[in-house]
Amino acid sequence: MSPRDIAAAGEGDSRPVALVTGAAGGLGGCIAARLYDRGHRVALTDLDAEAAAKAAEALDPTGENALGLALDVRDKDAFVRVRDELVARWGVVHVLVNNAGHSKIEALMDITPESFSAVVDTNLNGTFYGCQVFGQYFAERGFGRIVNIASLAGQNGGTATGAHYAAAKGGVATLTKVFARDLGSRGVTVNAISPGPQDLPVVRRTVDPEKLAQTEAMIPVGRLGRPEFIADVAVLLSAAHADTVTGACWDVNGGLYMR
């Protein structure tokens, strides 16, 4: 988003403001870094406040254009507090990336009600609360971009993740359409990115190496995804001139799922 784009959207600041959830590391950290590199002021939020602060400091030691904040996406009021803090600090927010997620590899019949609720609470409820709080805020201003991180698991039932994760991510794709339809006439776009298995430390740490190798062998392009490209897609969907793309789910899965 260029200064000219921002002016067209009714803003006078030279740097648009983006909030990324689950941004202390992994894919969220990659997305936050790419938004920062592309000229955004970025709030990196995470359940781990200390890790979020360190990640923000690594991007911008001055703290002028990157900020780390605690955010529990399971708490709608927490989104309100962070929104208000960012508005007080930078005057406005333009972009929300709902990235925070929680997965747990469990056999289908071994998933307890508590485990199912915990995974859904973060992945689905957290996305819903973020879309609600910032969707209303953006609609009142007449401009906003929401990017939800869905998953291939929500499209094909999952390969290396649990049923609770797959169900929640399928819900994220549906919520994206619901909010896109409701907010489209008010200058707010809502889109999803649906990554396949990514080459991330958390993936290599949590997925059995043999299972991961089998998964990688099934990918038509022959390799795990690049988080940097997911970040590029998030930046593109966040642009002011992406105003006719809404309710879409952009697949980035190496050909594992084609439609």
Catalytic site positions: 165
Q: How many CB atoms lie within 10 A of CB 201?
A: 9
**How many Å apart are CA 154 and CA 165, to the nearest integer?**
8
Rg, Å, the chain Cα set: 17
DSSP strands (E only) in 29-104 = 41-46, 66-70, 95-98
* Helix-, strand-, coil-residue percentages of the chain, each rounded to 5: 50, 15, 35
Contact 225, 216 (CB under 8 A): no
As a residue count, the chain comes to: 259
Q: What is the layout of strands, in order, in the sheet containing 41-46?
A: 66-70, 41-46, 17-20, 95-98, 144-149, 188-195, 249-252
Bridge partners (DSSP) of residue 19 are 43, 96
Q: What is the rounded CA–CA span in Å between residue 115 and residue 118?
A: 5
CA distance 20 to 13: 19
